[in-house]
Structure 1
Amino acid sequence: MPADISLFTVTLLCLAALAAGWIDAVVGGGGLLLLPALLVGLPHTPVAYVLGTNKSTAIVGTTAAAVTYVRKAPIDVRTALRIGLAAMGGSLAGAFFAAGINSQVLRPLIMGVLLGVLAFLLFRPAFGTAPAPSGPVSRRRVVTAVLVAGLGIGFYDGLIGPGTGAFLVVALTAILHMDLVSSSATAKVVNVCTNIGALTMFAVQGTVLWQLGALLALFNLVGGMVGARMALKRGAGFVRGVLVVVVVALLCKLAYDQWLAA
């Protein structure tokens, strides 16, 4: 635990972890809230420690949400794990190339993709709200999901990270024809896999504040369990609304980083 951190700051970080767990469980994107909160709350801490502590917190809420979904939602665990293992490999590759990427060039590209996703969600209000089709998914669609949602989005997660959950939900819904609740459930399993890979790397490097991470993880756990239950109870329409809000928030965050941040 950082020696200079105040009780007020710890309280705010706990609340941010709680809210981030809820957002992550419903649709993904909790890092948009928790990571900036950690950067502000720990201004003198090296960024590597902030990233490692963020992962040690997020993995607990994501795992709790994944368990809740697997127990109560229709989810193909075998397909989810296949995509998750591919995503773990993609995230490791993304992390390897992260140091050589110019963020000033990459951010506008991601913003363009997000604008396309937002337009798609707004102009196709029925997207992801129809019940998932019964029966096994074709091998071709599973392979496409492994390549796009696994390797592709996993690579993005290692390269940059914010919004990974939202991208996974949209990709899984479009490729595997899932409803938004089922795709959010599958995305949680995939996120657990990528978080395990990332946290392992941070732990080996010794860049995790374990005491602070454990405290925040408790609040993230509660948020994740509550969020998963709300998504299951309220259905695809609720998940879709949260997804639109998260995509807009990510767009605003990237635009601020690109043009307004000092």
Structure 2
Amino acid sequence: MVSGLEDVTLATIALVVVAGLAAGWVDAVVGGGGLIQLPALLLVPGISPVQALATNKMGSIFGTTTSAVTYYRRAHPDLRTALPMAVIALAGSFGGAVIAASLPSSVFKPVIVVALVAVAVFTATKPTVGELTQLRHTGRRHYGTAAGIGLVIGFYDGLIGPGTGSFLIIAMVTLLGYNFLAASAKAKIVNMATNLGALAFFLPHGSLLWGLGLVLGFANMIGGYLGARMAVKQGSKFIRIVFLVVVAALIVKLGHDVWVENIRG
């Protein structure tokens, strides 16, 4: 039996493992693994939404840490940009999680759907975007822009969550001028920090299911390792294709949530 829940069957654990593997792979390439992982956790009998969110963050930390290390060893991302972004994003994520406890995410979802549609259209109609690294800024302006991206998207991760890695990548491609591979490598370092920031909020509340989180984390770790290796091997064009698929899935998921919430309201 997994610690923290009763009546958890082997079939349920198998579902969580498969979801963790798939989510780790997707998250390592372009982000958005929460689209797979969180719904799978919500199918676990007896789990509450808060427990699912906290356990999801724990599993994701294993995956993002593994993929971040893999990217670092194989793609050598610029830590002078990534590390300050990660620290600021961690603080933003914690702040977002605090507000999420009192403010429904439904307030923001329509805006996020519009933003995702704009991102998808832009990426699809600009096939050369993200192929090469051509930095838009230098010096303080570069690091200031990177810090702003970390703060805003870190806050979003703590508040809502799905697609954080995708938003990080497109922001670094369009606003900073990195190619998709370099952006993905840095996004994993920042995403690791945003997961940690949100988890730091959930831990004192006792919402984390440690047994289930460790199972999920191990699966996510394997998926993250495989995904990062494939992304480095295949390069920016492969990441761009997967990015568009994941963004499309995000649009459908969040759009459906908005539609259902409007009907119920």
Query: How far 1:102 moved relative to its partner?
Result: 4.4
* Mapping of residues 98-247 of structure 1, within 5 Å: 98-130=100-132, 132-133=133-134, 137-147=138-148, 149-247=149-247
Structure 2's unaligned 5+ residue stretches are none
Instruction: Name the counterpart of 1:5.
Output: 8
Q: State the Cα RMSD in Å.
A: 1.6
Rate the CA distance shift 1:137–1:74 in 2: closer, same or farther, 3 A: farther
Contact 2:63 2:223 (C-alpha < 8 Å) held by counterparts: yes
Q: Is 1:21 the equivalent of 2:24?
A: yes
How far, CA to CA, are the matches of 2:139 and 2:200 in structure 1? 33
Query: How far 1:110 moved relative to its partner?
Result: 0.8
Percent identical pairs in the alignment equals 47
Greater CA drift, 20-29 or 196-205: 196-205
How far, CA to CA, are the matches of 1:220 and 1:154 in structure 2? 21
Rate the CA distance shift 1:105–1:82 in 2: closer, same or farther, 3 A: same
How far, CA to CA, are the matches of 1:186 and 1:250 in structure 2? 21
Q: Secondary structure, in 3 states, of the residue corresponding to 2:128?
A: coil
TM-score, structure 2 as length reference: 0.93
Contact 1:91 1:156 (C-alpha < 8 Å) held by counterparts: yes
How far, CA to CA, are the matches of 1:4 and 1:210 in structure 2? 16
Amino acid of the structure 1 residue aligned with 2:175: I
TM-score, structure 1 as length reference: 0.94
Query: How far 1:103 moved relative to its partner?
Result: 3.7
Query: How far 1:202 moved relative to its partner?
Result: 1.9
Q: Is 1:66 the equivalent of 2:68?
A: yes
- How many pairs were matched up? 258
How far, CA to CA, are the matches of 1:50 and 1:17 in structure 2? 13
Greater CA drift, 86-95 or 219-228: 86-95
Contact 1:142 1:176 (C-alpha < 8 Å) held by counterparts: no
List per-residue Cα deviations over 1:31-81 (Å, max 9, x = no partner). 011001101224x22222111111111100100000000111131112101
Query: How far 1:247 moved relative to its partner?
Result: 0.5
Q: Is 1:91 the equivalent of 2:63?
A: no
Q: Is 1:38 the equivalent of 2:53?
A: no
How far, CA to CA, are the matches of 2:50 and 2:104 in structure 1? 18
Contact 1:26 1:227 (C-alpha < 8 Å) held by counterparts: yes
Query: How far 1:153 moved relative to its partner?
Result: 0.8
How far, CA to CA, are the matches of 2:104 and 2:202 in structure 1? 22
Q: Secondary structure, in 3 states, of the residue corresponding to 1:28?
A: coil
How far, CA to CA, are the matches of 1:204 and 1:102 in structure 2? 21
Contact 2:93 2:195 (C-alpha < 8 Å) held by counterparts: no
List per-residue Cα deviations over 1:196-247 (Å, max 9, x = no partner). 2222222222211111111111111110000000000000000001100111
How far, CA to CA, are the matches of 1:51 and 1:102 in structure 2? 14
Amino acid of the structure 1 residue aligned with 2:251: L
Contact 2:158 2:197 (C-alpha < 8 Å) held by counterparts: no
How far, CA to CA, are the matches of 1:137 and 1:11 in structure 2? 48
Structure 1's unaligned 5+ residue stretches are none
Q: Is 1:50 the equivalent of 2:46?
A: no
How far, CA to CA, are the matches of 2:107 and 2:68 in structure 1? 34
Greater CA drift, 99-108 or 224-233: 99-108
